Amino acid sequence: MLTKMSVFKRSFIVLVLSLSCLLMAATVFAAPLRVAVVETLSGSQASTGLLYRSAVRYGIDKINAQGGWNGGSIQLLEYDNQGGVAGASEKVKAAIADGAQIIFQGASSAVGGQVTEDIRKYNLRNPGKEVLYMNVGAEAMELTGSKAHFHMFRISPNAEIRIGAVIEAMKENGNLGERVYSMNQNYSWGMDVEKTILDKSASLGYEVVGKTLHDVNKIQDFSPYVAKIKAVNANTVITGNWSNDLLLLMKAANDAGLQVRFGTAFLDQPGNLANAGDTALGHFIAHDFSLESTGDEGAAFGEDYKKKMGHYPSYVEPHTVMGIGLLGEALKNVADEDGKMNINKLVLAMEKATYHTPLGEISIRIEDHQVLLPMVVSEVSKDVKYKMDGTDLGYKPIKIMTAEEAAAPVQAATKIVRID
């Protein structure tokens, strides 16, 4: 017969074992790290958003193949913002409600401006539950200037980096000319490109003979704008246009027999070469990766990406993959706290991380959370190994810039409040 003391001891042992099992279960089944893509995944402007999604999927899969984080795979959630600011804001709220601690977004600086502000305000209201914004492509200067904050990293170039690179390389290569026309979309990104073109004119010895800011992706006929370019006898058009605004502009110039060179930021968007054909020959682009200039290492990355995603990496994809590689390096140095990610500690780890790419090291500048990455300026040519878009055209490098050479100064408006 059990005594009262033996019953007590037995109950105590059962209780201890039960608590131990609960603790073991909590350790084994710690909450996974959840990240989210909030992008334009449907509609007429989905082409860019779908490329961001492909790149994020590829990058997260690589981290998971190397062990993930905290002994488990990172979970990727996907949300369609349908291309609008309001839609993006609602989807960010939904992603956070579903447990996402890192948000990826890149298509449109207007959308990026809303996302970064939503996350900044959320973090102020919810200390200890912070969310990180990984800006993979919203390149307006203000996002690492007046709107910069501790919980945002831009892992793509900005207007000054891209446009500065293409102008300088064209000047060195003898293709810039003395009369430059600025043609850009009328929102923050286009305005930043125009400012960069104007600012660099004195030091690089060209005159800005005309400038236009036009509606975004609404113009079907660029011939009136081409007439303006022709009237001022420009040698070169520098443009940050993307999507149809770039393609239709170049086609209108070709149809009008306009003999100018284009210096661009996004000519490598899939479909542009296929649609433009020989119209694109001799025009230039600043981009952050080139299959033509990265040897065996770059070729291996390109072939692996093509095997898994169905096409060679271009446009917004390379820097997105490499930025996620940088995130992967940071994750190695952040231990879990009760099975959860401390985002503030991840931010500090990101600030110290470096990641090797086929073009060289990339890292984060602490002062403004802008990625520092190498840049390539290429000319559209048939004399290339890698033919793009099912054409006989590709991108022949004329200049490679290190991360330090390509970097733009920290903006005076940048004031990041640190959480150390």
Instruction: Convert the pLDDT of each residue in 187-204 to its tens digit.
Output: 999 999 999 999 999 999
- Torsional class of 88: left (φ above 0), alpha (ψ -120 to 50), beta (otherwise): alpha
d(CA 174, CA 189): 27
Q: Is it the case that residue 23 has pLDDT exceeding 50? A: no
Determine the average pLDDT of the residues in 228-239: 97
pLDDT tens figures, 32-88: 999 999 999 998 778 899 999 999 999 999 999 999 999 999 999 999 998 889 999
d(CA 315, CA 160): 17
Q: CATH class for domain 160-287+375-406?
A: alpha beta
Q: Is it the case that residue 212 has pLDDT exceeding 60? A: yes
Please name which of 57, 62, 49 lies closest in space to residue 77, comparing C-alpha atoms.
57
Q: What is the mean pLDDT of the chain?
A: 92
Q: Is it the case that residue 216 has pLDDT exceeding 80? A: yes
Q: CATH class for domain 34-157+294-372?
A: alpha beta
**Using an 8 Å Cβ cutoff, are 116 and 133 in contact?**
yes
| Helix/strand/coil for 237 | strand
The pLDDT value given to residue 217: 83
Q: Is it the case that residue 26 has pLDDT exceeding 80? A: no
- 11 band by pLDDT with thresholds 50, 70 and 90: low
Determine the average pLDDT of the residues in 220-226: 96
pLDDT tens figures, 241-296: 987 899 899 889 989 999 899 999 999 999 888 888 898 999 999 999 999 989 99
The pLDDT value given to residue 6: 54
| Helix/strand/coil for 221 | coil
Q: Is it the case that residue 1 has pLDDT exceeding 50? A: no
The pLDDT value given to residue 9: 53
Could you tell me where in the chain the CATH 3.40.50.2300 domains are found? 34-157+294-372, 160-287+375-406
Please name which of 131, 75, 81 lies closest in space to residue 107, comparing C-alpha atoms.
81
Q: Looking at per-residue confidence, does 251 or 240 come out higher?
A: 240
- 10 band by pLDDT with thresholds 50, 70 and 90: low
Q: Is it the case that residue 8 has pLDDT exceeding 80? A: no
| Helix/strand/coil for 134 | strand
d(CA 223, CA 227): 6
Determine the average pLDDT of the residues in 379-399: 95
CA 8-10-14 angle, 5° bins? 115
The pLDDT value given to residue 339: 87
The pLDDT value given to residue 14: 47
The pLDDT value given to residue 184: 97
pLDDT cut 90: percent of the chain above it: 83
Count Cα atoms within 13 angstroms, Cβ side, for 345. Answer: 11
The pLDDT value given to residue 20: 53
The pLDDT value given to residue 27: 45
Determine the average pLDDT of the residues in 115-141: 97
Determine the average pLDDT of the residues in 220-239: 96
